[in-house]
A = this chain, B = another copy of it.
Amino acid sequence: MSGIPQLLKQNIFAEPMKEANPVLPGAEVFYLDGPISLVYGGSLSEMQIAYETFGTLSEAKDNVVLLCPAFSANSHVRSTEANPSRGWWESIVGPGLAIDTDKYFVVCASLLGSCYGTTGPASINPQTELPYATKFPVVTIRDIMEGHARVLDHLEIDQVHAVVGGSMGAMQVLEFAIRHPQRLKRFINISGTAHTRPYTAAVRHLGRRAIMFDPAYNEGNYGRVLPIAGLRLAREIGTLFYRSREEFNERFDQDPLRAPGLDEIVFDVQSYLNHQGNKVVVHFDPNSYLYMSMSMDLHDVGRGFASRDEAFSQIQAEALTIGVKEDNLITVDEQYDIHESILRNGGRSHWVEISSRIGHDAFLVETDLITPAIKEFLES
């Protein structure tokens, strides 16, 4: 059985991350003095926020679209001169695209607690001059969303045309619409949820376990030697849910007759998962992975209200909720529940259901399927 352990070894000693929480090329940065109180009771004595903008702000400042990144994403929505690498919504945001940068001024900040220039566990704690690591306070989706609101403050933008996001981004969108009802006219949430259900939390829990089980994790004090094996496995577990069973079963061959023996058995689907695992490794700070993952498990728009209905009744903006029938992480019923909750509490809401064998990740991969609905809704 030497084949697979051999493959792992190569990766376990992969190059460590170059910088723990780098500001991406071309991103703007600003600082906030604290203490900044967080929902869970912790606070930060200062905060750095990194963001990017795309397009031109109109004189009336009435053409702003605020984007909320998903789990492992950041401010880099599309390629720019300063940072030509492909953005996470390259095919949705740009000149003539669904979110047309010839019309709209797109603002996107990296997430509080993550590792792309906005303060997170890998940042230096000014009180100790060491990285926060697991001393970083618990962050919730609401705290992350408030970071975006602070970017708007910083840019002196009172109200946005729309707030848009998918998956973890959609959770932030909902929090924004509920907590800042007058700061937005419209919002679009895709593959999101109003509160995390136990099965989805179980999936994320196992990803966190994979990282924490790795001896290199060292209770969060891994320095530059990352728990690569754990990070890879966490990502691979996630992949079972970011994509759909239908995709796996149609896309991959499972012909054991081609596999010569246990040493060398690599089904197509195994190679694919290995590839997905590799993708996460050089990019992501393991403590950020844990904090961002936990923020989603803690997500509940009803927090601080008497009920979720009371939370939904705060919403004044018009909603578009897009759900994916094959979503294997957050079911389409959970997504539809957002739409219904808005309507039930007197709001205006539109529901669009798409079918994509990509499942949860459809908003990143099969962007053709969501482009018409986004375009039409933004321009309505």
Contact = CB atoms under 8 A, between A and B. Distances in A.
A267 B1 contact: no
Contacts of A256: 140, 196, 297-300, 303
Contact of A267 (B201, B206, B219, B230): B201
A47 B268 CA distance: 33
Contact of A269 (B41, B202, B261, B299): B202
A198 interface: yes
B138 A262 contact: yes
27 contacts: A2-B219, A5-B212, A8-B213, A140-B256, A196-B254, A198-B248, A198-B252, A198-B254, A198-B267, A199-B245, A201-B254, A202-B248, A202-B270, A203-B240, A205-B267, A206-B240, A206-B273, A209-B236, A210-B210, A210-B213, A213-B214, A233-B233, A255-B300, A256-B298, A256-B303, A262-B291, A265-B294
A1 B303 contact: no
Nearest to A255: B300
A290 B138 CA distance: 37
Contacts of A17: none
A248 to B, nearest CB: 4
Interface in A306-343: 331
Q: What size tier do the contact residues of chain A reach?
A: 35 or more
Contacts of A41: 261
A134 interface: yes
A16 interface: no
Copies of this chain present: 2
Interface in A167-219: 195-199, 201-203, 205-206, 208-210, 212-215, 217, 219
B303 A212 contact: no
Contact of A303 (B257, B265, B267): B257
A373 interface: no
Contacts of A252: 198
A15 to B, nearest CB: 19
A249 interface: yes
Interface of A: 1-2, 4-5, 8, 40-42, 134, 138, 140, 195-199, 201-203, 205-206, 208-210, 212-215, 217, 219-220, 229-230, 232-233, 236-237, 240, 245, 248-249, 251-257, 259, 261-262, 265, 267-270, 273, 290-291, 294, 297-300, 303, 331
Nearest to A220: B1
A132 to B, nearest CB: 11
B233 A213 contact: yes
Given A134-B262, A245-B331, A254-B197, A212 B4 contact: yes
Nearest to A136: B262
A269 B198 contact: yes
A248 B199 CA distance: 5
Contacts of A236: 206, 209
Contacts of A251: 198
